[in-house]
Structure 1
């Protein structure tokens, strides 16, 4: 029998929320006793949150972050209500930005962006031993 642990929280459209997301993810992982890949998971969570704040969340709206542990995989999902769908691009070595989704895709075992009708969600999965 597999048990799913899940926790979700909403965050404001503000740069400070990226740090708050990282704290939420770190605290949740610690509470659930997940130590493996913690740095990768926290880094990807903050990259997805930063992407939502900078590109996805309409002014005055919030975004949600959901963590779920199911069947040996830790999922981080960031959902916003903004239009458009982000594209993972090969980063330009000289660029100051543009590496977030590329980094998430490189670190995570699974990565997908889903159209949610209103907005979208970005999900990254990390296999745990």
Structure 2
């Protein structure tokens, strides 16, 4: 079984919530409700990073979910050329924990650089069928 869903979002604060809603809807369609909380949080963090660090004014970012037999892969692509960095969490900081959280929740994650922009991705193991 293999499937894919992609949606583009404008550079607006409301796009973070819209990207979470998109991820939740797709995971429900795929009947993967056990993964919703983790993937929704990661989508929120990656979309926020795309808005803050990667999307030029007037441009969009995209969110993609790919489903295979054993994995769900979340991808957020933007036009920025920055290198995503995992920062150790600091107790007194209100920000900077996004990629650390993604690394804790996902089975694996990384970034692929393109001629223009990058894709930051996170892979999640599908729960075994009962």
TM-score, normalization by structure 1: 0.95
Structure 1 CA distance, aligned partners of 2:90 and 2:56? 27
Question: Which residue of 2 is the match for residue 105 of structure 1?
Answer: 103
For structure 1, the 5+ residue unaligned runs are: none
- 1:96 is displaced (CA, Å) by 1.0
Residues 9-60 of structure 1, C-alpha deviation per residue, up to 9 Å, x if partnerless? 0001111000000000000111111111210011101110011011111111
For 1:54-69, list aligned pairs within 5 A.
Answer: 54-69=52-67
Question: Which residue of 2 is the match for residue 38 of structure 1?
Answer: 36
Secondary structure class of the residue paired with 2:111: strand
What RMSD, in angstroms, separates the aligned Cα atoms of the two structures? 0.8
- Equivalent residues, number: 127
Question: Which residue of 2 is the match for residue 13 of structure 1?
Answer: 11
Structure 1 CA distance, aligned partners of 2:34 and 2:52? 29
TM-score, normalization by structure 2: 0.94
Structure 2 CA distance, aligned partners of 1:61 and 1:83? 14
For structure 2, the 5+ residue unaligned runs are: none
Whether 1:25 aligns to 2:35 is no
- 1:123 is displaced (CA, Å) by 0.5
- 1:71 is displaced (CA, Å) by 2.6
Runs of 4+ more than 3 Å apart: none
> Structure 1 residue aligned with 2:80, among 59, 74, 82?
82
Secondary structure class of the residue paired with 1:95: coil
Question: Which residue of 1 is the match for residue 94 of structure 2?
Answer: 96
